[in-house]
Amino acid sequence: MSDLTGEVIDGRYKLNRIVASGGMATIYAATDLRLDRVIAVKIMHPHLAQDEKFVERFIREAKAAAALSHPNIVAVLDQGWNQGGTPCVFIVMELVEGATLRDYIFEQGATTLTSALQMIIPVASALSAAHRMGIVHRDIKPENILVSNEGRIKIADFGLARGALLGTTMTAESSVILGSVSYLSPEQVQRGVADARSDIYSLGIVLFELLTGQKPYQGEDPVQIAIRHVNERVPAPSTINSNIPIEIDDLVLRATNSDPDKRPADGTVLLEELRKLSEKIDPRKRQLSLELDLPPAPLKQPVKEKERKKKSRNAESTQIESENEVKREKTGNTKRISNRVRRNRRIALLLLISLVGIGWYAFAGPGSKIVVPSLAGATVKEAKTVLGNLGLTLKIGSEEFSEDIPEGRIIKSDPAGGGRVDDGGEVTVFTSKGKERILIPNLIGLTPDDAQALLEENNLNVSEITEDFSGEITTGLVIRSTPTQGERVKRDSNVILVISKGVEKLEVIDYKGKSGEQALNELSDIGFEVDTKYVFSEDFPAGAVISQNPISGVADKGSQVTLFVSKGTEFVFIPNVFALSEIKAVTALEDQSLRVSVKKVGTKKEKFVTNISPKVGSKVKRGSKVTITVG
């Protein structure tokens, strides 16, 4: 990207100097002319501004950081598209003068335990705030951890962030490419998914590097490093630096465990553990901390500054040597034209030709055309105003679905941002229909082939076919799907089909002579409908199973099993109730399931049994009538 130093972006931000430049954007130290304050402006490279995916990631970074307010997170102040001058997409942030944690590791190597904790605790504090808001950074590495000249630690670059506030995430492939492989968690490498525990893994690797001065896995092949993160356990830092206590070893090993469930759940949990360890190592730390601890020692000179000065010195040396050589040649033979002079003359001629070509390009050739600004994310009204100011007209093209650009806003243009068009020319814009969501159709009762064809008609895929028993759906037809009927999913989403294996067959056990309650419970638990009938039996005690239907064998799950359970013997013997009071005698007889008739004689106030019929000891059926005489 060409140097934009001196330009005013969006009529407000004057670019003063380049602070840093990467593969995606250049960061300038700038002045906010409206508020008269120093800020940083991050400007996307023009060739990337034509790719809506990169523009979406750029906007995601702004939204992610702007949603957070924390002293250890670089604050985002504004975001927009430059509508005048050089077309560009930009983010306005606070300016952090200092170096990255990578610079510290590069210059100082392994740090002391105290210094490592001083630098890692503020990062954990920042992640704690992000995780509480449901935002996952997904790209924690030393290059994204800044150390200001005042000692403030700050996290930057939320370009890979994901969360409910930010909309959808990037694909697994782009995450692996854009993230740093040495700090990716196993789940990011394998499945492209990440949550708060993935940030914990990355921060655990950073802590390992601070303590040992090296990454856990070395090598030039990123794929091999990624595979080692998946298949191997990160070694304990003490295997490299024997001065590290076992408590720190344990924390690093848990934070970098390949199983996310065994790591600290999020930044808040990790922060609490780090603070406890810090207090244990240095009891003076038992006080409120605002993560303002200065790093152990300032950098002698930023690494990039060293490289720039070294190149400058080399260039000066080369120039001086060239001048000396020309002088020597002139002194030795004033008439002779040296090879170097001839070469310089040829270069001058080429420069002249180049200047003529550039003049033609700018005033008569393609350079005379108008540069189309980036319109991604703008409304049609905003785009029409911007293009109108440039003497261009806007044409509305087709609508397309977009996961990241809201409905009604522009996804892309033709020509794209940075392209050129004749004065008075036309720019076609393509607007967003919002997120595309497809309704899962009703697949129940269809054959697998028919279900798959219906899904493909709806731009959905069958990822797996499984089987299950069903008492309602015929064998070989679809029972259900995952996601289920009526759910809305993205285009090309995977659907799992469950096919019926028919009614499940279960074994019926013969419970004859066993407890009726046991039989009822066991048969019900495995899936039978149980009907219990109680009958008298002279051969089985009360509560025992006399017989069942079916007796044994195999039956359909959900079918009925009938149990015949004994109520005990049908006969009883007349008990001796002579001389008992009327109430006690009636109670004793009714306890034997007998019907009692009372015949009263005499005038006594308190009456007792004087006779009983049938006689005592007689064998009668339950429910028989017994007459007692009281007097």
Higher pLDDT, 45 or 175: 45
Percent of the chain with pLDDT over 70: 80
Between 351 and 303, where is the model more confident?
Answer: 351
* Maximum average pLDDT range among 308-322, 401-415, 505-519: 505-519
Grouping H, G, I as helix, E, B as strand and the rest as coil, residue 505 is: strand
Confidence of residue 343 (pLDDT cuts 50, 70, 90): low
Q: Is the pLDDT of residue 39 over 90?
A: yes
- Mean pLDDT within 179-200: 81
3-state secondary structure of 231: helix
Report the range of poorest mean pLDDT among 185-194, 195-204, 244-253, 271-280: 185-194
Query: What's the pLDDT at 426?
Result: 92
Task: Please name the residue ranges forming H helices in 219-300.
Answer: 222-231, 246-255, 267-281
Pick from 9, 58, 57: nearest CA to 30: 9
139 is catalytic: yes
Give the integer Cα–Cα distance in Å for 376 and 56: 9
As a whole number, mean pLDDT of residues 608-615 equals 92
> What's the pLDDT at 287?
47
Whether the predicted pLDDT of 373 surpasses 50: yes
pLDDT, average across residues 452-476: 91
Beta-ladder partners of 465: 497
Region 530-559: mean pLDDT is 91
Q: What percent of the chain has pLDDT over 90?
A: 38
Give 592's pLDDT tier (boundaries 50, 70, 90). confident
- pLDDT for res 232: 85
Residue 160 pLDDT more than 60? no
* Half-sphere exposure for 340 (CA within 13 Å, toward CB): 11
Which pLDDT does position 434 carry in this prediction?
Answer: 87
Distance (Å, whole) CA 372 – CA 416: 7
- CA-based Rg of the chain, rounded to a whole angstrom? 43
Residue 41 predicted with pLDDT over 60: yes
Mean pLDDT over all residues of the chain?
81
Per-residue tokens: 132: 């509480």
Closest CA to 472 of 520, 441, 504: 504
pLDDT value of residue 354: 54
Q: Over range 67-88, report the average pLDDT.
A: 82
Neighbours of 619 (CB within 10 A): 10
The stretches of 282-302 forming alpha helices (DSSP H) are none
Per-residue model confidence (pLDDT) at position 338: 56
- pLDDT-based confidence at 267, cuts 50/70/90? very high
CB-neighbour burial class of residue 46 (10 A; exposed 0-12, middle 13-18, buried 19+): middle
pLDDT at 70 over 60: yes
pLDDT (average), residues 152-174? 54
User: Residue 252: its pLDDT value, please?
Assistant: 95
Q: Which of 131, 132, 42, 142 is nearest to 95 (CA)?
A: 42
Average pLDDT of the residues in 358-365: 48
pLDDT at position 576, please?
93
Is the separation of the CB atoms in 40 and 51 below 8 Å?
A: no
End-to-end CA distance of the chain: 123
Residue 197 to residue 261: CA distance in whole angstroms = 8
Q: What is the DSSP string of 438-472?
A: EEPP--TT--HHHHHHHHHHTT-EEEEEEEE--SS
Top-confidence residue, 566 or 180: 566
Record the tokens describing residue 594, joined without a space: 């007998």
Ranges of beta strands (E only) in 392-537 are: 393-400, 410-414, 420-421, 426-432, 438-439, 461-468, 478-482, 488-489, 494-500, 505-508, 529-535
Q: Please give the angle made by the CA atoms of 495, 499 and 503, to the nearest 5 degrees.
A: 150
- Statement: residue 578 has pLDDT above 70: yes
Residue 436's pLDDT is 87
Q: Is the pLDDT assigned to residue 149 strictly greater than 50?
A: yes
Catalytic residue among 139, 195, 199, 404: 139
The larger pLDDT score, comparing residue 554 to residue 369, is at 554
Residue 525 is classified by DSSP as H
Pull the structure tokens for residue 396: 């509305």
Q: What angle do CA 314, 320, 326 make, to 5 degrees?
A: 135
- Whether residue 149 contacts residue 98, with contact meaning beta carbons closer than 8 Å, is answered with yes
The listed range with the strongest mean pLDDT (52-61, 135-144, 458-467) is: 458-467
- Greater confidence, 85 or 126? 126
Most confident of 242-251, 302-311, 334-343: 242-251
Instruction: Give whichever of 2-16, 183-197, 218-232, 287-301 has the largest mean pLDDT.
Output: 2-16
- Per residue in 134-144, pLDDT tens? 888 888 999 98
Q: Is the peptide bond before 122 cis (omega within 30 degrees of 0)?
A: no
User: Do 609 and 628 touch, CB atoms closer than 8 A?
Assistant: yes
At 419, the pLDDT band (50, 70, 90 cuts) reads: confident
pLDDT of 69 over the 60 cut: yes
Task: Report strand pairing: 560-566 vs 529-535.
Answer: parallel
The closest of 248, 253, 240 to 213, measured between CA atoms, is: 240
Across 574-589, average pLDDT:
91
**Res. 127: pLDDT tops 70:** yes
pLDDT tier, 170 (very low <50, low <70, confident <90, very high otherwise): very low
| 461 or 376: which leads in pLDDT | 461
How many C-alpha atoms does 397 have within 13 Å on its Cβ side? 14
Residue 120, pLDDT score: 94
pLDDT in tens, 481-517: 999 999 999 888 999 999 999 888 888 999 999 999 9
CA-wise closest residue to 249 among 284, 215, 282, 277: 277
- Average pLDDT over every residue of 10-17: 90
Report how far residue 64's alpha carbon sits from residue 169's, in angstroms, rounded to the nearest whole number: 12
Q: Out of 278-287, 307-316, 361-370, which region has the weakest mean confidence (pLDDT)? A: 307-316
